[in-house]
Amino acid sequence: MKFKEGFFRILIVDDSLSMRQLLHKLIDMNDITPYVFDAKNGKEALAKFQKIQPDLVLLDLQMPEMDGITTLRLMKKMDPSVKVMMMSLSGSKNDTQDAIKYGACDFLLKPFDRNEFAFKVIKNLREKANEDKITELQNTTEMLNEKFSKMSKSIKK
């Protein structure tokens, strides 16, 4: 899929249609990004994940077929840099610890405050953008160092 540069991609994964619609509406209301996709379970999410390569995933913890932790682990294997915010109606200490252990950047308890939701989504997208810029700068630095090294060797000859 081809996306306009400069826009983030968000994938909402929740077995509740009404929750997916609410999250989509909150993202639209806050004018965060036009690229919002959704999936009703982990298996569908993994298929969409490969196609759209989201910057942020909003992932429900309890879902049929494949739970959120399993989905999180598989997504992080595909793209370790993806930001994943876990969501749950019941956030036990173990659930939160597992989510963080396997790479979630945040954990939201449902129902959550709209402003808190928007703040956390924007915060995590900004962090993702900064991390991407750092990676790009590191790659550029490595490339320039290689060129400089080759030039130095040819000058010495």
pTM of the predicted structure, to 2 decimals: 0.83
Percent of the chain with pLDDT over 70: 94
Does 60 fall in a domain? Answer: yes
Domain membership of residue 3 (yes or no) is no
| Band (4; pLDDT cuts 50, 70, 90) | low
Give the total number of structural domains in the chain. Answer: 1
d(C-alpha 123, C-alpha 76), whole Å: 19
Q: Which of 95, 85, 106, 112 shows the shortest CA–CA distance to 19?
A: 112
pLDDT of residue 93: 78
Residue-averaged pLDDT of the chain:
89
Domain that holds residue 121: 9-156
Write out pLDDT tens, residues 68-107.
999 999 999 999 999 999 999 876 778 888 899 999 999 9
